[in-house]
């Protein structure tokens, strides 16, 4: 396995650009970068620039991963660049990205089933609970998009890997893979997102492991709050996720899998909004009815995990939601945001050290490039 980083959250990635960001990743002692879409490397799919990025990544010994974007047609208008790169034809746009990615050896390609709107609290922040279209209708539309892209994926030896994003469950992803074909559809396993669907991360990893081809590695606080549960991203090893169990499952299924850290974005790159709270309405009848695959047994394990973490909060071992948000981002006004470049780099390093430690304890081999971090 190799340990790298999600390009979207790499500090100063837009300021530095893709080529200089490769140097930054190497300087951090990490082993690769996962650009969310091929357009993040070149908005025009310039084959010369893409080859240059590939060649530099190879020269630095870094893995290079990418994706094609949101496949839910009900949120396509929120990503106009996907249609633009196809000259108005969004399927052509996706196809061009698949071809451009394959041309530089990026054949494991991220796709996502929706968007999250942090400005809305509760279930309406999720496309799963849109009121203009049902989630089942959205799933059928995504299946249709995947079917239309499947010939291009197969022709280029690529997989379209569905992220365990905020709005979708592991069960629904498995059904999409079965419907379209595991030869061209896989999974980007996000270690924490399933928490928002009431899924136990270790159980979800077990269900999806045979299909996991890319990752987003992150941790989170989940605790009881008004309306249900709150969710908050934290450095790996300081939240609720059991990385020892999860990485052992993933490594057994795919020992060459890349682990891409997804860290909290620097406020210098993206200022924190005044509405950052996420509410998992786990006790609400409407929320519960929307999760028919969630068993009583898994929910009980999930809540036991939440309660165990809450005991750590009560004891003072880890900060509660408000304390962490105040210290990191200047809650409640968010006018003074101390979480800048240096703090984000600290988040990266702390998370990386934890994943390294877990891998060493579990006998999971990581790229030797990781050992360069302290010197860097």
* CA dist., res. 71 & res. 91, Å (int): 10
Q: Is 49 left (phi over 0), alpha (psi -120 to 50) or beta?
A: alpha
Max CA distance (Å), the chain: 57
Neighbour count for residue 278 (Cβ, 10 Å): 24
Helix (H) / strand (E) element for 153: namely: helix 135-155
In angstroms, how far is the first alpha carbon of the chain from the final one? 21
Name the band, by pLDDT with cuts 50, 70 and 90, for residue 117: confident
- pLDDT higher than 50, residue 374: no
Q: Report CA torsion sign: 137, 299, 244, 250.
A: negative
Q: Averaged over 205-217, what is the pLDDT?
A: 98
| This prediction's pTM | 0.96
Output the pLDDT for position 368. Answer: 66
- Whether the Cβ atoms of residue 52 and residue 22 lie closer than 8 Å to each other: no
Output the pLDDT for position 351. Answer: 98
Output the pLDDT for position 369. Answer: 55
95-113 pLDDT per residue, tens: 999 999 999 999 999 999 9
Ordered by start, the domain boundaries in the chain are: 2-372
For residue 138, the Cα-to-chain-centroid distance in whole angstroms is 20
363, two tokens: 């006998």
- pLDDT higher than 70, residue 176: yes
Output the pLDDT for position 367. Answer: 81
69-83 pLDDT per residue, tens: 999 999 998 999 999
154, two tokens: 């197969």
Query: What is the CATH architecture of 2-372?
Result: Alpha-Beta Barrel (3.20)
Q: Give CA separation, 266 vs 10, 269, 340, 355, in Å.
A: 8, 5, 5, 21
């Amino acid at each position: 396995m190799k340990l790298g980083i999600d390009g979207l959250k790499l500090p100063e990635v837009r300021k530095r650009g893709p080529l200089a960001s490769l140097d930054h990743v190497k300087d951090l002692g990490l082993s690769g970068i996962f650009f969310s879409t091929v357009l993040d490397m070149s908005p025009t799919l310039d084959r010369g620039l893409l080859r240059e990025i590939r060649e530099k990544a190879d020269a630095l010994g870094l893995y290079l991963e990418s994706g094609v974007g949101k496949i839910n047609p009900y949120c396509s208008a929120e990503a106009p660049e996907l249609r633009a790169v196809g000259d108005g034809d969004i399927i052509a746009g996706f196809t061009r990205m698949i071809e451009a990615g394959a041309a530089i050896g990026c054949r494991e390609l991220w796709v996502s089933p929706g968007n999250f709107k942090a400005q809305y609290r509760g279930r309406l922040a999720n496309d799963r609970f849109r009121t203009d279209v049902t989630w089942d209708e959205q799933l059928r539309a995504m299946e249709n998009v995947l079917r239309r892209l499947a010939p291009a994926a197969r022709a280029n030896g690529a997989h379209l890997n569905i992220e365990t994003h905020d709005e979708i469950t592991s069960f629904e992803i498995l059904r999409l893979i079965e419907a379209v074909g595991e030869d061209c559809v896989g999974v980007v396993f996000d270690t924490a997102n399933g928490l928002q669907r009431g899924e136990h991360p270790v159980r979800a990893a077990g269900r999806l492991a045979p299909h996991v081809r890319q990752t987003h590695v992150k941790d989170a606080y989940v605790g009881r709050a008004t309306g249900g549960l709150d969710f908050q991203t934290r450095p790996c090893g300081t939240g609720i996720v059991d990385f020892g169990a999860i990485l052992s499952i993933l490594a057994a299924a795919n020992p060459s899998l890349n682990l891409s850290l997804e860290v909290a974005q620097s406020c210098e790159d993206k200022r924190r909004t005044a509405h950052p709270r996420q509410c998992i309405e786990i006790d609400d009848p409407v929320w519960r009815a929307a999760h028919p695959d969630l068993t009583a047994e898994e929910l009980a394990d999930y809540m036991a995990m939440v309660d165990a973490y809450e005991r750590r909060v009560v004891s003072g071992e880890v900060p509660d939601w408000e304390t962490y948000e105040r210290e990191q981002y200047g809650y409640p006004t968010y006018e003074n945001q101390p979480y800048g470049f240096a703090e984000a780099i600290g988040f990266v390093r702390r998370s990386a050290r934890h994943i390294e430690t877990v891998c060493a304890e579990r006998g999971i081999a990581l790229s030797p490039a990781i050992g360069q971090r302290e010197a860097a």
